[in-house]
């Protein structure tokens, strides 16, 4: 089905790739090798097309037209007014925050709390450049990078080939990190393409929360093409957040690959707030017994936004539990895609998997495609799934209005109630409160909340 990259595009990308390699001549050979392999894979595959089942509803042509803008040579001035202030400051003063602008780590914008003993949070650029203090992370990076990725799609391959920066997070065995680790990826300049890479290793019985914010400057067409790799050793507990708010002309493609060992607990919380095209893939491999995997997704789409969430939970060993709940509101001419794949391998007896997809459509022009995708090869399992697509409840709307609450506010109250349920499992309460406020103000500024038929 792949046609490969068109010739003229191949030449342009090859030239850019050559100059990236030239700029990073000091990289360790293994990393250069990995990039070359990834670049070849990208060229060979070409961009995904809607003829491929995994991309059936998501046409990436607008993303491919963006091209590649080389990273700026000078340190950027950050115009804070270009960004959503609540998201720009998410977690400020609360935890460890690394800020990246157009793919490059910015020490000046980052804030470090005193790290608990043994915790490593290191920008990739510091590691590969051999910055003093970061050199001890070189071996872990070598051991981890790319290990959780299965077959790489074009975006993952492209991201690996052009990867500039990101973070390595290593939580040693037994350590519980109280404050979340924030990784804020800002897309600032028109046309900027960035390839953030996050690599997390959670040692045995460790615990941490990682928050990735992908935030685009207003009115700028940008692409952040992120890859996150997480490995959880036995009894580790990791909560991972991805919050996406690109400009209405901006793009985000995120791929999260997770491997869980026995008795580990992983939860993912995805929150889509805006973007022309946003595609999120989460693939969790439950490779040990008694794992718990919890995937929550929320999306608020309006205008011409297109948000596509593809998830895979791969049960390979017995007695694991997975819970998946995606819910969203679509308005205007926006489009939401959910594809929830659950695989239960022959050895994964006593698997307990549940999946729900709930959607509210606010306008006639908005579209939802939702699809459960279960592949069950074991016979002693509990698997349930359900999907709903509907409008706001007319009875509830009338009840609120009959008490003097205006149509717009009544809509906002009901949408807020529907969406807030999706934040109930955010364990770190200061973060949950910030996300609730972000959700509320996003609902307030939705373009046609009043466009509901009454």
Dist CA 65 CA 221 (whole Å): 11
Dihedral angle over CA of 268, 273, 274, 278, nearest 10 = 10
Complete DSSP assignment for 245-260 = E--TT-EEEEEEEEEE
- φ, ψ for residue 194 (rounded to 5)? -135, 155
Considering the complex, state which of residue 357 and residue 411 has its C-beta at the smaller distance from other proteins: 411
Cβ atoms of 34 and 163 within 8 Å: the answer is: no
The CA distance from 312 to 256, in Å, is 10
Task: Based on the shown chain and the rule CB under 8 A, indicate whether residue 44 belongs to the binding site for other proteins.
Answer: no
Which tokens in the block code for residue 373? 């995708």
Q: Is 444 an interacting residue with respect to other proteins (CB under 8 A)?
A: no
Choosing from 416, 432, 450, 451, the residue that interacts with other proteins (CB under 8 A) is 416
Residue 410 CA to residue 45 CA, distance in Å, equals: 48
Of these, 409, 440, 448, 450, which contacts other proteins (CB under 8 A)?
409
Smaller CB distance to other proteins: residue 380 or 444? 444
CB of 357 to other proteins, least distance (A): 18
Locus of tokens 């996300």: 435
Question: Which ranges constitute the DSSP H helices of 349-444?
Answer: 394-401, 407-420, 429-444
3-state secondary structure of 60: coil
Question: Does the protein bind other proteins through residue 407 (CB under 8 A)?
Answer: yes
Least distance in angstroms from the C-beta of 300 to other proteins: 15
# chain residues binding other proteins, by CB under 8 A: 23
From 413, 430, 432, 451, residue interacting with other proteins (rule: CB under 8 A):
413
Residue 151 lies near other proteins (rule: CB under 8 A): no
CA 264 to CA 173: how far, in whole Å?
13
Q: For residue 430, give the 3-state DSSP assignment.
A: helix
* Residues 6+ away with beta carbon under 8 Å from 74: none
- Nearest CB to other proteins, comparing residues 117 and 403: 403
Which CB, 3 or 396, lies closer to other proteins? 396
Interacting residue with other proteins among 333, 420, 425, 432 (CB under 8 A): 420
Per rule CB under 8 A, is residue 403 in the interface with other proteins?
Answer: yes
Token pair in block for residue 241: 């957040």
- C-alpha dist (Å) from residue 357 to 153, 311, 323, 339, 446: 25, 12, 11, 9, 21
Least distance to other proteins from the beta carbon of 194, Å?
37
Segment interacting with other proteins, rule: CB under 8 A, options 23-31, 53-61, 175-183, 401-409 = 401-409
Chain center to CA of 425: 17
Q: Fill in the per-residue mask, 371 to 400: x = in contact with other proteins (CB under 8 A), - = not in contact.
A: -----------------------xxx-xxx
Q: How far apart are alpha carbons 62 and 55 in whole angstroms?
A: 14
Q: For the CB of residue 415, give the shortest distance to other proteins in the complex, in Å.
A: 10
Residue 52 has a CB neighbour count (10 Å cut-off) of: 13
CB of 205: closest distance to other proteins in angstroms?
35
Of 354, 401, 425, 432, which one interacts with other proteins (CB under 8 A)? 401
Nearer to other proteins, 175 or 400 (CB): 400
Tell me the C-alpha distance between 391 and 400, whole Å.
16
User: Smallest gap, in angstroms, from Cβ of residue 318 to other proteins?
Assistant: 35
- Binding other proteins (rule: CB under 8 A), the pick from 79, 379, 402, 429 is 402
> Residue from 17, 266, 418, 428 that binds other proteins (CB under 8 A)?
418
By CB under 8 A, tell whether 81 contacts other proteins. Answer: no
User: Binding other proteins by CB under 8 A: which of 406, 433, 444, 445?
Assistant: 406
Q: Under the criterion CB under 8 A, does residue 405 sit at the interface with other proteins?
A: yes
**How long is the chain?**
454
| Structure tokens that stand for 271 in this block | 């929150």
Q: Are 350 and 319 in contact (CB under 8 A)?
A: yes
Judged by CB under 8 A, which of 131, 384, 417, 437 binds other proteins? 417
Look at residues 240, 219, 222, 223 and name the one whose alpha carbon lies nearest to residue 231. 240
Nearer CB in complex with other proteins: 147/391? 391
* Stretch in the footprint of other proteins (CB under 8 A) among 136-144, 241-249, 364-372, 406-414: 406-414
Nearer to other proteins, 21 or 400 (CB): 400
If one asks whether residue 30 binds other proteins (CB under 8 A), the answer comes out as no
CA angle 232, 234, 235 (to 5 degrees): 95
Q: Which residues bind other proteins (CB under 8 A)?
A: 394-396, 398-407, 409-410, 413-414, 416-418, 420-421, 454
């Amino acid at each position: 089905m792949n046609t490969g990259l068109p010739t003229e595009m191949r030449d342009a990308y090859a030239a850019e790739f050559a100059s990236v390699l030239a700029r990073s001549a000091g990289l360790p050979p293994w990393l250069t090798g990995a990039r070359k392999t990834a670049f070849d894979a990208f060229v060979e595959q070409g961009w995904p097309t809607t003829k491929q089942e995994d991309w059936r509803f998501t046409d990436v042509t607008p993303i491919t037209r963006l091209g590649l803008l080389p990273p700026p040579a000078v340190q950027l001035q950050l115009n804070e007014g270009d960004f959503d202030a609540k998201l720009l400051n998410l977690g400020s003063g609360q935890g460890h925050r690394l800020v990246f602008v157009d793919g490059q780590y910015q020490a000046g914008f980052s804030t470090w709390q005193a790290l608990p003993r043994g915790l490593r949070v290191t920008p990739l650029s510091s590691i590969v450049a051999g910055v003093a203090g970061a050199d001890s992370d070189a071996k872990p990076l070598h051991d981890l990078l790319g290990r959780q990725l299965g077959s790489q799609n074009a975006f993952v391959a492209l991201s690996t080939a052009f990867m500039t920066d990101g973070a390595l997070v290593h939580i040693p065995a037994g350590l519980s990190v109280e404050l979340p680790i924030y990784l804020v990826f800002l897309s600032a300049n028109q046309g900027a393409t960035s390839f953030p890479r996050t690599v997390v290793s959670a040692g045995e019985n460790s615990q941490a929360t990682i928050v990735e914010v992908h935030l685009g400057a207003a009115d700028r067409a940008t692409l952040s093409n992120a890859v996150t790799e997480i490995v959880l050793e036995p009894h580790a507990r990791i909560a991972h957040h991805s919050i996406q708010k690109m400009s209405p002309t901006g793009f985000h493609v995120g791929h999260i690959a997770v491997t869980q060992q026995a008795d580990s607990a992983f939860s993912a919380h995805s929150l889509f707030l805006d973007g022309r095209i946003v595609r999120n893939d989460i693939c969790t491999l439950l490779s040990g017994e008694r794992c718990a995997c919890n995937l929550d997704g929320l999306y608020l789409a309006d205008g011409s936004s297109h948000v596509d969430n593809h998830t895979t939970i791969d049960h390979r060993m017995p007695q694991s539990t997975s819970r998946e709940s995606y819910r969203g509101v679509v308005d205007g001419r926006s489009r939401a895609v959910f594809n929830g794949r659950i695989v239960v391998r022959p050895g994964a007896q006593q698997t307990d998997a549940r999946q729900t997809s709930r959607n509210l459509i606010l306008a006639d022009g908005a579209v939802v495609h939702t699809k459960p995708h279960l592949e069950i090869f074991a016979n002693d399992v509990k698997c349930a799934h359900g999907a709903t697509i509907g409008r706001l409840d007319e009875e509830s709307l009338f009840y609120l209005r009959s008490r003097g609450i205006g149509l717009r506010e009544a809509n906002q109250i009901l949408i807020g109630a529907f969406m807030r349920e999706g934040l109930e499992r955010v364990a770190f309460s200061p973060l949950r409160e910030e996300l609730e406020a972000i959700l509320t103000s996003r609902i307030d500024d939705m373009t046609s909340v009043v466009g509901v038929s009454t």
